[in-house]
Amino acid sequence: MRTRTKSGFTLVEILIVVVILGILAAIVIPQFSQASTDAKVSSLQSNLQSIRAAIALYKIQHNDTIPADGAALVTAMLNKTNMDGTTTGTPTLGPYLQVKIPNNPFTGANAIGTDWLYTVTGNDWTFAAPAPYDVY
C-alpha cells in the first residue's frame, strides 16, 4: 500500500494570502500618491521662489523697472540685458535664469499666461502658478 504525501497549498490558503495582500495594497497605495503630490508642491514652491528672486534681482539692477508682459519677461530672464532692458550691443546684466523658465510640475509646461501667471501693476509685479496650484 502506498501513501500519498500532501504537498502544496489549498485554495483557501491561497485566497487568504491574496486577501491579505489586497488589504496591504489598499493601505500603501494612497500614501504613495500623496507623496507624489507633496513632491510636486515642493518643486512648485522651489520654482516660484527661484523665478521671483530672478525678477526681483532684475528689478534692482534695472532701476526698478520690470518687463511689461510675459514675452518680455522670458527674454529678460534668459538673456543678457543692458541697463535699459534691451539686448542689443554688449549687454552686461543677467541672464537671470539658466536655459529656460522652469516647468510647472503640475502641468509639465512653462508657458507664461497658462502655466505661470505674470502680472504687472504700475511698478509692482506678481508671479504665480494658476489656481489651485499656487501654494506660496
Q: Summarize pLDDT for 57-93 with one digit per residue, the tens.
A: 999 999 999 999 999 999 999 999 999 999 899 999 9
Model confidence band, residue 135 (pLDDT cutoffs 50, 70, 90) = low
User: 6-45 pLDDT, tens per residue?
Assistant: 778 899 999 999 999 999 999 988 888 788 888 999 999 9
Q: Which residues of 39-60 are buried (b: 16+ CB within 10 A; e: fewer)?
A: eeeeebeebbeebeebbeebbe
CATH classification at residue 103: 3.30.700
**Residue 61 falls within a domain, yes or no?**
yes
CA distances in angstroms from 9 to 2, 12, 16, 20, 24, listed in the order given: 22, 8, 11, 16, 21
Strands (E), 73-128: 117-121, 124-128
Domain that holds residue 128: 42-136
How many structural domains are present in the chain?
A: 1
**Residue 70 falls within a domain, yes or no?**
yes
